[in-house]
Structure 1
């Protein structure tokens, strides 16, 4: 699946497995006849000894095939909790693809399965030598009134930036000695609103893969940088399913302040305003739309600048002080478990006061794909997208919704 993460924070790869476990809970169904009563027992004769006995399905078969339609399904495997391995397949061209593996451990309270605790540990490596290892945990306290998430990671990532004076690109490597993030949100009443603080601490050693860098480059590279940030977020969520939503709205605004008071070597601010809306027109047709606005202000390193985030646009290809990414998606269920997806999007950047990046203008991308309902009981889809953007075609393996990395 594509890791559509903030490529400057290796910890984010753990969010993929978090989505895999979200909403998993033991589910059971009772079969009743048309009158609402349990069906009458059926008495069958014992076959003669000479006739072959029906083969009893193994426990392995029971947890990987749905007992309703008999098709491949991982609902029970996820719902049982415990240990679940999750492979990571990276198709992002900015890092030359890659592979990884996560192990998630799910603890589900019997009295309220919704308040599950998820612990995820994993590692990944990409084709251009980037790698990451990390741990992520999320859960609830105070009977679900407070949602928390924290994690730590170590890694190295090599990317290409495209400043206005180097249209061919500038390759650099950031080594994260550590990255530690965390958040806690208080649910307001019984409604969809929640609010709370967040923290972000990193130590980065950057290296510029350029013999004679232009003098226009800020003093961002070939040095160690410590950052410490504190922020707050306000969230709204009415999605019917956090895995592959069909209806509802997920929206939030966040402000994060990196300051010397928390040990940061430079002071700057980051802002996010994201909204993801979903609507079913009928049982077969579903619509989705996203709008993401990201901005950095102050003395931020150039590699912290946000970038257009669309299927078909290479990660970090178009950066600026302010970035808008919007995408529209329509899906149609063509058969049991199978759907076709079409999408199109546009994004743009504004350099602000930056001397490094220029205005991108409108950048368009779009494409199509298919989905398979991988876990019927928790509404999890997986599939493949083929997108075409400014630099050609890109394909993505999707696990959950394509916008999962941006949703909370």
Structure 2
């Protein structure tokens, strides 16, 4: 579950903000100091994902600074005094706890809890989440005909990564569990004949990460890459056996003092008896989630950002992707595309946390998305 959202009511709060919520930049609204001292960020969410319809949600995000933050701040201040031209060192990301839920007009719902934590000067990274969903979705067959179905289940995700020496490389294990129940209408798609309505996904994997981003939320420079190889087996709680390999890479490249180019490549490959709902799918703004889904997928996207002021930025983006392998081979698979524009406001400078809205056009539809930080997760 993604709690990507815009903090609505922003203008009214800005008018009432106390000095603790302001920065030194002409009293601009900034929640960095407040959030760093264990304050909660309420995140009302407007659900605009075409796959589940329109709806509302609410999340509470709690931020805290890693134990090493104060020490690193003193070291960085000293270093900057002696090397003013050097690129700033990325600080350890904040610890984050989130709780929230949502509901939409299609009677889809979800609620859950997540936590992200670092230890030992960002040498250990942990992420865990647990949630319950009830989603009304569409499955698209080989002829691109949609079949409505309901997906209910309890999901659990755990991962812990360890930094390799002083490098930007991280390695560690992951585990995902999803106890799912699916229910179609009176007619089951031909390609899904014989499937069980109750299926469990239990898979363990190995993750390799590379991270040189200047901040976790809305990077101005740096690279983030991740490769995960995982296996689902009965001993891990899975009702079927399959394998998955996913890889993604994001690059943020400063072109000029006020311009940043973002580049994204995202792939997923699967084999074995993988449930249809667990297959890789194309993720793009403007494209309905899981509409382009198959055994494999590959997606690429570009994003150009103009930092109009130190707080405000506007951006344009466009991308394309394909899902292939079971229903179509690569050459026959339909190409999904999404293009659009958006804006961000840097609401917590110390954290690099920005909020905003993206508007996108995709195959036969338009959509808008409220965002916290980058759209790339």
Of 42, 50, 69, which aligns to 1:93? 50
The verdict on how the C-alpha distance between 1:279 and 1:143 changes in structure 2, with shifts beyond 3 A counting, is closer
The aligned runs of 1:380-399 (5 Å cut-off) are 380-399=353-372
Kindly report which structure 2 residues correspond to 1:334-353, keeping only aligned pairs within 5 A, or say none: 334-350=308-324, 352-353=325-326
Count of aligned pairs between the two proteins = 350
Q: Distance in 2 between matches of 1:198 and 1:317?
A: 26
Distance 2:230 2:200 in 1: 15
**Cα distance change of structure 1 residues 214 and 251 upon mapping to structure 2, 3 Å threshold:** closer
Match of 1:195 in 2: 171
Specify which of 167, 187, 210 is matched with residue 212 of structure 1: 187
Secondary structure of 2:2's counterpart equals helix
Cα distance, 1:372 vs. partner?
A: 2.0
What are the superposed Cα offsets for residues 92-147 of structure 1, whole Å, 9 maximum, x if unpaired? 11111222112233343555354754322211112211111211122134554321
Is structure 2 residue 263 aligned with structure 1 residue 289?
yes
Q: 1:310 is paired with a residue of what secondary structure?
A: coil
Mapped pair 1:126 → 2:99 = no
How many angstroms does 1:277 deviate by?
A: 0.4
- 1:76 alignment partner, SS class: helix
Whole-angstrom CA distance in 2 between matches of 1:58 and 1:93: 34
Contact 2:225/2:248 (CA < 8 Å) preserved in 1? yes
Give CA-to-partner distance per residue, 1:141-196, whole Å, 9 cap, x none.
4554321112211121111111114x3301111111x2111011110001100000
The answer to whether the 8 Å contact 1:231/1:256 transfers is yes
Structure 2 unmatched ranges of 5 or more: 8-13, 71-91
- Asked whether the equivalents of residues 241 and 379 of structure 1 are also in contact (C-alpha less than 8 Å), the reply is yes
Following TM superposition, by how much is the alpha carbon of 1:59 offset from its aligned partner in structure 2, in angstroms? 9.6
Cα separation, 2, equivalents of 1:286 and 1:58: 31
Hey, what's the Cα distance between the residues in 1 that align with 2:15 and 2:275?
Answer: 56
Bigger strand fraction: 2
Instruction: Quote the offset at 1:371 in angstroms.
Output: 2.1
The separation in 1 between residues aligned to 2:331 and 2:289, in whole angstroms, is 17
CA contact (8 A) 1:340 1:368 kept: yes
Report the Cα distance in structure 2 between the residues aligned to 1:387 and 1:353, rounded to whole angstroms. 28
1:248-397 matched pairs, under 5 angstroms: 248-350=222-324, 352-354=325-327, 359-397=332-370
The aligned counterpart of 1:13 is 2
Given that 1:313 and 1:391 are in contact with CA atoms closer than 8 Å, whether structure 2 keeps it comes out as no
Residue 349 of structure 1 contacts residue 359 of structure 1 at CA under 8 Å; is this kept in 2?
no
Distance of aligned partners of 1:218 and 1:355 in 2 relative to their CA distance in 1, 3 Å threshold: farther
> Per the alignment, do residues 357 and 163 of structure 1 end up closer, same or farther by CA in structure 2, a change over 3 Å counting?
farther
Residue segments in structure 1 that go unaligned for 5+ positions in a row: 1-11, 21-56
Structure 1 range deviating more: 59-68 or 323-332: 59-68
The answer as to whether partners of 1:385 and 1:397 remain within 8 angstroms in 2 is yes
Q: How far does residue 73 in structure 1 lie from its aligned partner after superposition?
A: 2.1
1:79 pairs, out of 36, 48, 67, with 36
Query: What is the CA–CA distance in structure 1 between the aligned matches of 2:168 and 2:310, rounded to whole Å?
Result: 32
Give 1:298 shift: 0.8
Q: 1:354 to 1:337 in 2, by over 3 A?
A: same
TM-score, reference length from structure 1: 0.79
Q: TM-score normalized by structure 2? A: 0.85
Contact 1:319 1:357 in 2 (8 A): no
